Amino acid sequence: MPRDRRMERSDAEVVPLAGRLRQRSRPAQDLPAARNLHFEELLCRAVAARLLVELRYDAEVEPRLFAPHLVYRSTTGRINVGGTQIHNPGQPEDSYEPRLFEVGLIRTLRLTDTSFRPDNRFRRDEPQFHEGVICAL
C-alpha cells in the first residue's frame, strides 16, 4: 500500500488529503501533559512525610503553598496531585481549599520542613481516583 494511504495510530488525527497525509493536532488542553517522574517522586515523599510543598503551576509567577494528599491517574489519563491549597498569593481568598493539579504542568516544586494535618476531603476510595492511586495518605 502506498505510504500516503496508510493510516498510522498516533495522538494526532490523520486525514488523507489529495494523495498525501495531513496531520491535525488535537488542542493541547485535550492531551495530558508529559509525565514528570521526578516531581511525582517528590510529591509522594511529601505525602508520606506529610510535608507542605511550594509549587508554581503553569504560568504562575509566585509559588503557592500546598498540602499534597494523593497522586493519582485521572480518568482522562492525566497524573494529578490532590490536596489542600494553604496559600496562593495570586488568590489569597482561596486559602484552605481543595485543589487538583496536573503534575506535568507544575513548573517548580520544593518540599518544605512544615508538616500538615490530613484533610478528610481527600480519600483514596473516592470514585474519581479509581483509575489508579500512585501514592496517598
34 in Cβ contact with 105 (< 8 Å): no
Confidence at residue 45, expressed as pLDDT on a 0 to 100 scale: 98
Confidence at residue 29, expressed as pLDDT on a 0 to 100 scale: 63
Confidence at residue 28, expressed as pLDDT on a 0 to 100 scale: 55
Cα angle 43, 46, 48 (rounded to 5 degrees) comes to 110
The 10s digit of each residue's pLDDT in 20-37 is: 333 333 445 679 999 999
Q: Residue 60 pLDDT > 60, yes or no?
A: yes
Reported confidence tier of residue 53, pLDDT bands at 50, 70, 90: very high
The 10s digit of each residue's pLDDT in 97-110 is: 999 999 999 999 99
Domain ranges within the chain, ordered by starting residue:
1-31, 37-136
Q: What is the mean pLDDT of residues 105-120?
A: 96
C-alpha cell belonging to residue 29: 488542553
The Cα-based distances of 31 to 115, 131, 132 in angstroms read 34, 17, 18
Please determine, looking at this structure, whether the domain spanning 37-136 carries the CATH number 1.10.10.
Answer: no
